[in-house]
Amino acid sequence: MTTAVASPPAETSALRVAGYRTFLITFMLAMMADNIEHVISYWVAFQKFHSAALGGFAVVSHWLPFLMFSVPVGALNDRFDSRRLIQVGMVLFISASVGWGYFFVTDSLQMWHAMVLLTLHGCAGVLWGTSSQMLLYDIVGPGYLASAVRLNATARYLGVLVGPGVGSIIMRTLGPTRGIFVNTMFYLPLLLWLVAAPYGRHFRGGVAGAKRAVRGLADIVQTLRDVRGMPVVSAMVLLAGAASFFIGNSYQAQMPGFAHDLGHGDPGMAYTLLLGADAAGALLAGILLETRGTWLPMTAPSALKIALLWGCSLFLFSFMRWYPAAICVLFVAGFLELSFSSMTQALVQLNAPDTIRGRVLGLFSMSASGLRAFSGVTVGLLGSVTNTHLSLALSAVAFVAVAGLLLLRRPQQAAA
């Protein structure tokens, strides 16, 4: 039997767990390093090739590995030590940075070199991301899990915010070549801490999953069948997938165009403030949800209702023509996005069977992250045919429809 973990009071923060504090700090450093590498490598690649196609490949190579490999990586977590899989991810991140540095030093970077390194970086991300979700449960247990997921989501936003700024400073002071080598140091704390960190299934006495071979597509199909019998998990996987497929972070890539259309006069500053509003709302959500207790219940209907409001806020933003109002709406959208996205992940974690937890978390990662590879089509490509305002509005309507249908099905599932 699985060893039960005592559930602390609902308002207790995961920061009370010493091991989680270390994990959170090292996680944020790695997230910052991930974004620093983007800043430096994208800048050098653009200066050398001036290729929009390479920029597009960078987005696809970042998210496509999540779509293809999340469930297989989850299956590996059901069989092997999650700490070692995260360390493999860190080694791949470091190898990508060192690879960029080598080509910078020798001035021999070619297009195919850049594509290989971008793909290596994307594969490192799926190993790290899916395995970190698995280890997170082992570090804090179910009682602290909602807090830990929320704090990790907040740390992710901090890494995304701080990484580009730190990357710019490093590139200006050290130059891109020395800067990319220095960046490898930020991956080391997590890599080294995991050498002897006393966490994992075998430490908490969990029952290992069946020793099945990792079977790629067959694993995905079987996990989908397993999840169909778990109403909460299946609803959250569908919700996260709809958010990624229809919207994802594609509207952020279109933000310079939105800023220009808002007629603010300085598109660069307007762009920065619009992105900052979205991130600031998310950070406030993380802080309030962590410090103000359980004023938002951790239930599937709550996640669905908040997701509905998020879709409505983006629909409203798509037709904004007044800059201050657009800032306010994006702030609210950021608040709502972190609230429902952290809630969906926590609900999947709490309801996933222990014996196939890795595969279920892999399926969630595939849905929540992998499907973002297609959001550039729903918002970006459709926007090139019509305009980005209309494409974002239609994408938001499609997402709201999915969330609404899932919410309407909840009473039927409860009755069944």
**Which two structure tokens, joined as six digits, stand for 120?**
């290596």
The conformational region for residue 220 under phi > 0 = left, psi -120 to 50 = alpha, else beta, is alpha
Domain-located, residue 143: yes
Q: Do residues 229 and 200 share a domain?
A: no
The predicted model scores a pTM of: 0.79
Write 340-343 long-range contacts (CB < 8 A, 24+).
340/239, 340/303, 340/304, 340/306, 340/307, 340/310, 341/153, 341/240, 341/243, 341/368, 342/146, 342/149, 342/150, 342/152, 342/153, 342/286, 342/289, 343/146, 343/296, 343/298, 343/302, 343/303, 343/306
Domain-located, residue 305: yes
Q: Do residues 290 and 336 share a domain?
A: yes
Domain-located, residue 146: yes
Select the more confidently predicted residue: 305 or 378: 305
Which amino acid would we find at residue 206?
G
Q: Would you say residue 377 has pLDDT above 50? A: yes
Q: Do residues 184 and 59 share a domain?
A: yes
Phi, psi for 12 (deg, rounded to 5): -70, 135
Of 170, 204, 238, the position where a domain reaches its end is: 204
Of 179, 204, 229, the position where a domain reaches its end is: 204
Q: Would you say residue 201 has pLDDT above 90? A: no
**Which pLDDT score is estimated for 410?**
73
**Which pLDDT score is estimated for 273?**
75
**Which pLDDT score is estimated for 142?**
82
Residue 368 contacts residue 63 (beta carbons within 8 Å): no
Domain-located, residue 80: yes
Average pLDDT, the chain: 83
Q: Do residues 199 and 221 share a domain?
A: no
**Which pLDDT score is estimated for 295?**
67
Q: Would you say residue 402 has pLDDT above 80? A: yes
**Which two structure tokens, joined as six digits, stand for 36?**
């620093």
Q: Would you say residue 193 has pLDDT above 90? A: yes
Q: Do residues 23 and 146 share a domain?
A: yes
Please report which confidence band the pLDDT of residue 266 belongs to, taking 50, 70 and 90 as the band edges: low
Distances (CA, A) of 241 to 15, 244, 315: 29, 5, 18
Span 59-67, average pLDDT: 85
Please report which confidence band the pLDDT of residue 205 belongs to, taking 50, 70 and 90 as the band edges: low
Residue 82: which residues within 8 A CB-CB, separation 6 or more?
131, 132, 134, 135, 138, 200, 201, 358
**Which pLDDT score is estimated for 287?**
83
Instruction: Give the 3-state secondary structure of residue 194.
Output: coil
**Which pLDDT score is estimated for 336?**
93
Our measurement of the distance from residue 138's CA atom to the centroid of its chain's CA atoms, rounded to an integer in Å, reads 20
Q: Do residues 131 and 170 share a domain?
A: yes
**Which two structure tokens, joined as six digits, stand for 236?**
């959250």
Please report which confidence band the pLDDT of residue 62 belongs to, taking 50, 70 and 90 as the band edges: confident
Percentage with pLDDT > 70 across the chain = 83
Q: Rounded to whole angstroms, how far apart are CA atoms 119 and 235?
A: 31
Domain-located, residue 234: yes
Q: Do residues 111 and 200 share a domain?
A: yes
Q: Which domain holds residue 293?
A: 217-415
Q: Do residues 192 and 223 share a domain?
A: no
Least confident of 99-108, 128-137, 252-261, 356-365: 252-261
pLDDT tens readout for residues 296-344: 778 899 999 999 999 999 999 988 888 889 999 999 998 999 889 888 9
Please report which confidence band the pLDDT of residue 226 belongs to, taking 50, 70 and 90 as the band edges: confident
According to DSSP, residue 177 is labeled: H
**Which pLDDT score is estimated for 252?**
67
Span 68-86, average pLDDT: 91
Distances (CA, A) of 300 to 130, 134, 141, 153: 22, 21, 20, 18
Q: Rounded to whole angstroms, how far apart are CA atoms 95 and 371?
A: 26
Domain-located, residue 343: yes
Q: How many domains is the chain partitioned into structurally? A: 2
Nearest to 380 by CA among 372, 90, 303, 233: 372
Distances (CA, A) of 234 to 18, 115, 145, 227, 241: 32, 35, 19, 6, 10
Please report which confidence band the pLDDT of residue 103 belongs to, taking 50, 70 and 90 as the band edges: very high
Q: Do residues 245 and 322 share a domain?
A: yes
Q: Would you say residue 50 has pLDDT above 60? A: yes
Q: Do residues 34 and 183 share a domain?
A: yes
Select the more confidently predicted residue: 38 or 131: 131
pLDDT tens readout for residues 2-46: 444 434 444 578 888 889 999 999 999 999 899 888 888 888 888
Domain-located, residue 6: no
Residue 129: which residues within 8 A CB-CB, separation 6 or more?
66, 365, 369
pLDDT tens readout for residues 160-188: 667 777 887 888 889 899 999 999 999 99
Percentage with pLDDT > 90 across the chain = 35
Question: How many CB atoms within 10 Å of residue 141?
Answer: 18
Task: Tell me how many helices (H) and strands (E) the chain has.
Answer: 17, 0
Nearest to 134 by CA among 415, 385, 396, 355: 355
Q: Do residues 244 and 333 share a domain?
A: yes
Residue the block writes with tokens 């767990």: 17
Distances (CA, A) of 320 to 49, 117, 312, 313, 327: 36, 39, 13, 11, 10
Q: Would you say residue 104 has pLDDT above 90? A: yes
Of 146, 179, 204, the position where a domain reaches its end is: 204
Domain-located, residue 3: no
**Which pLDDT score is estimated for 373?**
77
Q: Do residues 175 and 246 share a domain?
A: no
**Which pLDDT score is estimated for 256?**
65
Please report, for the domain that includes residue 371, its CATH number: 1.20.1250.20
Phi, psi for 131 (deg, rounded to 5): -70, -30
Give me the count of residues in the chain.
Answer: 416
